[in-house]
Amino acid sequence: MGSSSTRIFFAEALGTAILIIGGVGTAVFDAGRAGVLGVALAFGLSLLAAAYLIGPISGCHINPAITAAMVVVRKTDVKLLPAYLGGQILGGLFGALLIWSIGQGHPGFTAVGNDGQKTVVSVSETGFASNGYGLHSPDHYNLGAVILAEIVATAVFALVVLATTARGFAVPMGGLVAGVGLVLVHLVTIPVSNTSVNPARSLATAVFQHGWALSQLWVFIVFPLVGGTLAGLGWNALRQMQAAGAAAAASAPEFAAATSEAD
């Protein structure tokens, strides 16, 4: 692994761990008092902190779906995928391990939970803040609804992130805008799927729930990646339309002058 790949790997691992510790940690330990808004803010603030910490090193993807979008728009070299994905997976698991280890200090703590039942520490019915559908959706949304929510929410979030990379965007504002975008999609989709939009986040919690969450994990790997890919394709199409519009505008004066001369 080259020096650039190594830096990216460790930066993404650190950033993803921060996201899990801040976001999932709030959902596991304090969801009853924080509520949906508090958990959503915790994820957004965690991303905000990570962005300013590791953004200059790796761009702070800390999410395979964002990396997929960046590859599609050619802002990330496909050769760097192992560094990005490896760091995200390892960092997510490490963050979840820290949360699980802290939880062992609470009498009766369990990451497993029960079908439709609340755990001792987390008020979430999903077990260690895992993502799920059906009985394991916070409000019992079915598989179709969860799939649609994850695709749309991930695509919207990825488009927001891609917008922060556009030429002319104020770089120092990138972390803030991305963080607010993550808060928004959590507010909408926590009741539906407990909000994934990030396969690394879903994997990290499912491993420690180690039951139904693992059997449903495929949904939260496949469809956030679909959403991220669609966002990348949509961004490419938007940029092409913008380029075509700019070219047409640039040629308009010449066309007008030529018409005037012909008259």
Q: Which CATH number goes with the domain that contains 36?
A: 1.20.1080.10
Identify any residues that bridge with 114 across adjacent strands, giving them in sequence order.
Answer: 117
Measured in degrees and rounded to the nearest 5, phi and psi for residue 239 equal -65, -35
pLDDT in tens, the chain (263 residues): 678 999 999 999 999 999 999 999 999 998 888 999 999 999 999 999 999 999 999 999 999 999 999 999 999 999 999 999 999 999 999 999 999 999 999 887 888 865 444 433 333 445 899 999 999 999 999 999 999 999 999 999 999 999 999 988 998 899 999 999 999 999 999 999 999 999 999 999 999 998 999 999 999 999 999 999 999 999 999 988 877 777 787 776 654 555 555 44
pTM, two decimals, is: 0.89
Number of domains the chain contains: 1
Handedness of CA 199, 235, 45, 134 (dihedral sign): negative
CA distances from 240 to 68, 69, 222, 233 (A): 19, 16, 27, 11
CA dist 232 and 182 (Å) reads: 17
The residue range of the domain holding 43 is: 3-107+116-262
Compute the half-sphere exposure of residue 231: CA atoms within 13 Å on the CB side of its CA: 28
